Structure formats: structure tokens, C-alpha cells
Structure 1
């Protein structure tokens, strides 16, 4: 080998080895010390504080979960209802597949305290699992792809109930795109405060372990995400999961189809690559495997079952959801009736190792 070729190759190999060793290294002492502040992974979860009738009324289900493919619990993104998020696409797909599903309508269009939303989600997981008599899967978009992890983190009984956790553009490590929310200066909705990358909520969510053994995690994101940032590269992906003993696939739609152009909203609503990865995760043991996705998917403009000419579809996506989505990063203003608060909600006592 010519010397001018050998040296760059050595450098590349050295860099690769360094990255591999870094990935295998234990958590830093600082991270480990911070983790000790939070509840142990095996501590039983707290009792639910939301009245049972409210939890029951928030859950909508369709189909017989005891038969057919694995039933799915649908968890919506910030500011939208599950009907707006999934009704024109994934619900139609699951109905065609004979797959039972449930969804949760969160208080304040998922703009309220995520700790309250997590109680609704905990109830929904337990209820669907009991009705199905078998493991279920959870599919969430944005906040919905992240908040199920709060349930698994602090209500460990739910871990034996879930096969797949599938997050599309999930805010797993928060976002840097919410600089407008400044404590003592502006007011924002609780869920917006909690999804900042520097939020105490995010620190608690990712404490001790990001994933749980026995659960498959599929994270689908887009490098064009303008809401959950940064997501422009695999090394700096806010959505990606990296620690714990869960079986993890982190994949950008551009890893499958380099020209894929969906941003944060469309990747979770109509994107054909995301749909193919989600379907792959649901239909196979373990998380999605990008290599199994048919590359003809790259030529499809939208996912199957979505009909843009349907008047109900246009109303659903454009007239209802878009205005609320647009107000999410705007301080002081929201049109979903959520409270505006001057700071992040306090973490509940169950979050801490020593309580409050």
C-alpha cells in the first residue's frame, strides 16, 4: 500500500476504534452521580392520581385485541388529538390489517403536564394489555414517542406488557428549538417547558437507563426535523436512544431513502418510509430492520391508505391540526386551552430516590 493511502486509513481505523470504546464505556461519574438522585429502576410505581372515570373516558378502542396482529396503542404528538395525528392514515392501515388499536385523548391536546399524560398512558397500557391477554405495542409521534418511556421508567409493572415501543420523531432528549421559553420572562405550556433539552423532566426521563431489557425500541426520525433538534446526524440525534438493555434500532428515513423530504409533522403522519419501518417493526420479532424495507418505497409520495382527495382527510389534517401545531413554540399563545405557566412543572415526588 502506498504511504499516502496507509496513513489516512490508519487514522480512520483509530477513530473508529475510539468511537467503539466510547460506546462501550460506562456512564461518566457525573452522570452516575446525577442518576442516584432519581428513583431506582425497580421501585414500584405510584398510584394514579387522575380520577378513574377521566382515565376511562380518554381511551378509545377499536377491534378485538385478542385476535389478529399485535394490538397497538396510539399516542399523539404535542398539540394534536389522536384523530388528527392518526385518523387519516394509521387507523385506516390498521383496520385494513385487522389490527386492533386504541388511542388516548390527552388533556389540553397533549400540551399539559406530561406527568399527567403519563397517568392516562399507564392506564391505557394496563387496560389494553388486560383486554388483549397478550403483549401490546405502542406507536407514538413526537411527544407520543417519548412519553411512553416515562411510563416504563416509573411504572415498572408495564414493562412486561409491551413488546414494541415505536417512536416517530420522538423528543427523547428534548429539543433546542424552544429558546423562546425563558423562565421568568415568558410563559409557555407545561409540555413545551418539559421538552426543552435542558428540562429537569428530560434529565429524569433518561436517568439510569434509556431502555428496558425485553422491549424492542424502534426510533424513526428525519434529518430535516425542525421541531425536535438536533436530528441532522446520527451522532447528534436527539431522538435516538443509546443506553440500557433494550433492543434498539435508530434510523433516519434518509438512511433508507436518501432523498426523503418529510419534516417533523409529515414523518409522523403520511411518510411512506416511516410507515414501512413501523410495519416492519410490528410484523417481525425485535425492532425494525431497515434492510428489510423494499426500496420501491422511496418512489411513493405518501404511505398507503392516505387519500389526499378525501374532504375529511383535508379537513382533519389542514384545518384542525395545523393552527394548533403552529402555536406550540410561541410563548404566551395557544389555541388548545392549555394553561400558560412561567416555568417547568415540578417533578413529582415518585421521581426522586428520596421522594420530595
Structure 2
């Protein structure tokens, strides 16, 4: 009887130890991959910039990051007019980092010699100036991570820099996918100055101070019929070998008409966030914070593992 009891006790102890090891391994995995909070509003980037001027959004610009086998291509985020590496990407930087991507963002086309907050207003200089900065930044990301290509997620003017880079700045062999939020392939009949004004007022820069800031040279290049747009379109928008996804919103008040961002092509997918989800009222700004748009972005970056795209109410501007 005693021998049988010992065997029973050893079995119980072994079972307990196995359970402890399983729980420990699960806890270790959790600690190895901390989950960053993901805001549900594009404007969440404003307090980040106010608290840490010129900083990076959580989850981005970790230069020790090494791409995983699941996500071998780092993701570079390109902000819109008046945006910056932190203020534009409060949603996407932690979202993508939580998914296991190495995530990077820069501020381009700004005035670095100006004091903050003027130096945090990007996308102001001529587009080729900003694209040259993007090119150098991508090279830095590739050197740091050891990757052969990056994927790019752009918003507004950032979508134009992504394609300018692969078409005219030697980036075609360094990019696998371009995912565009509120692109304007045909230019716009609206004005990006509206977007700049919104961005600066959210940072507490009133209209009087704005009047003393150098004019946005890139804005005029984004108008329909500009020399920049004509050059981009002259031999077709898309570069062969790159997968394009265009995510647009019917309520875009900056890209006018919103269909400027819908460009057919054999290597392109065009999406309108309201198709199948009428309660998403994303405008030009809040589409970069919409959970629905983010779902489309994740599926575009990892098409082999599609997930259900949510549909929920999104308010203009605030998200």
C-alpha cells in the first residue's frame, strides 16, 4: 500500500510541476512581448507630441529591433502634410509593434532649425526634398535591421513620397508593399492648407503665429494638374513588382474628390472604408485612426493571414 501511495504522490507532484512549467512558459512569453496601448483616435498623437516634443510614438524607432520570420520586412510610416513622426502615428506605431513588426517613422520636409513646435510641422518643403530624406531613412532602416526590403504605410502626402521614392529615387528594389491612407493619385481640387491649419491648431499654434510660418511648398504640388502630379502619372502610377493597397474615405475633405485615391492597376487593391460599413465617418484626418482602416492595413501587410475587419462608428477628425 505504501509503495502505491508513493507512486500516487509522485504522479501528483509531477502533474503540479508540469502545470507550473506551462504557466511559467506562458508568463515568460507574455513578458517577452509586452502589449502597448493602442489609442482609437488619430488625435492621440497630439498629447504625445506635447509631452515629448520631437519624440517617437510608442512602438516605433527601436533601432535594436530585428525582424521576425513572420514579418521579415520592417514597416516605415510616412506622415501627411503638417504631420510628424510622432503626432501622425499614435495608433499605427503601437498597433504594428504589437503585431511583431519592426516599425520606423521620420519627420521629413520640416524646418529642423526652427524651435518647437515649428520643427514638428513636416511635409512643408518641396516633395523631392522630403523624398530624399525618406530615401536616406530607408537605407538606415535596412542597414540596422539587415532586411532587404521595407513595407511603407503612408498617409496623405506620405503616400506620394512612397511612390516618388520607388519611381524616381531608386527605391523600387527596396520596397515590397505600399499601403496608402487617403492617397491622391490624380491630385486634389482641395487644399492641404486646411489640413495644416487643423494640425497646428491642435498643437496650440493660433492663426496669428501660423501666419509667420513659411508657406507649404509641397501643398501646391499636390493640386490636380501640377507638374509633380503630371510627372507621377506620365508613364503610369504603379511600379511593377510592388503590391499597392489604396484605402480611401468618401468623407475626405482634403482629397477632392476622394476618388482621386482610387487608381486601377494589376498590382493594386482599392478600398473605400464605407463600403460595407456606413457608420464609419472617417475624414481625411481620422482615417489614419480608424480601426476599420487599420484592419485593412494589417491585411495588406500580411495577406497570408487575413483577419476580420471591424465595423464601428468613427467620427470625423477625432475618430
Q: TM-score, normalised by structure 1?
A: 0.58
Unaligned runs of at least 5 residues, structure 2: 1-55, 111-121, 195-213
CA contact (8 A) 2:124 2:215 kept: no
Query: Could you say which residue in structure 1 is the equivalent of 2:180?
Result: 167
Task: Confirm whether residue 147 of structure 1 aligns to residue 161 of structure 2.
Answer: yes
C-alpha separation between the residues in 1 aligned to 2:149 and 2:126?
Answer: 28
CA contact (8 A) 1:256 1:273 kept: no
C-alpha separation between the residues in 1 aligned to 2:165 and 2:138?
Answer: 9
Q: Note closer, same or farther for the CA distance 1:179–1:273 as it changes in structure 2 (3 Å cut).
A: closer
Task: Confirm whether residue 135 of structure 1 aligns to residue 149 of structure 2.
Answer: yes
Task: Confirm whether residue 298 of structure 1 aligns to residue 311 of structure 2.
Answer: yes
Query: Could you say which residue in structure 2 is the equivalent of 1:92?
Result: 94
Q: Deviations for 1:178-217, whole angstroms, at most 9, x for unmatched residues?
A: 3999xxxxx9521111111121111011121211111100
TM-fit CA distance, 1:298: 0.8
TM-fit CA distance, 1:293: 5.6
TM-fit CA distance, 1:252: 0.5
Query: Could you say which residue in structure 2 is the equivalent of 1:327?
Result: none
Which of 1 and 2 has greater Rg? 2
C-alpha separation between the residues in 2 aligned to 1:143 and 1:179?
Answer: 9
Secondary structure of the 1:148 match is helix
TM-fit CA distance, 1:169: 0.2
CA contact (8 A) 2:61 2:104 kept: yes
Query: Could you say which residue in structure 2 is the equivalent of 1:274?
Result: 293
Structure 1 residues 195-344: aligned runs within 5 Å: 195-231=222-258, 237-243=259-265, 247-268=267-288, 270-284=289-303, 294=308, 297-299=310-312
Secondary structure of the 1:116 match is helix
Structure 1 residues 40-55: aligned runs within 5 Å: none
Number of equivalenced pairs:
226
Query: Could you say which residue in structure 1 is the equivalent of 2:67?
Result: 66
TM-fit CA distance, 1:150: 0.7
Secondary structure of the 1:219 match is strand
Task: Confirm whether residue 101 of structure 1 aligns to residue 103 of structure 2.
Answer: yes
CA contact (8 A) 2:245 2:268 kept: yes
TM-fit CA distance, 1:98: 2.4
CA contact (8 A) 1:210 1:242 kept: no
What root-mean-square deviation, in Å, do the aligned CA atoms of Structure 1 and Structure 2 show? 2.8
Q: Deviations for 1:299-336, whole angstroms, at most 9, x for unmatched residues?
A: 3659xxxxxxxxxxxxxx98xxxxxxxxxxxxxxxxxx
TM-fit CA distance, 1:61: 2.4
Q: Deviations for 1:110-161, whole angstroms, at most 9, x for unmatched residues?
A: 11111100101111222323333232100010000121111111123x2121
Query: Could you say which residue in structure 1 is the equivalent of 2:218?
Result: 191
C-alpha separation between the residues in 1 aligned to 2:229 and 2:272?
Answer: 22
C-alpha separation between the residues in 1 aligned to 2:164 and 2:192?
Answer: 24
CA contact (8 A) 1:241 1:250 kept: yes
Q: Which residue of 138, 142, 148 corresponds with 1:125?
A: 138
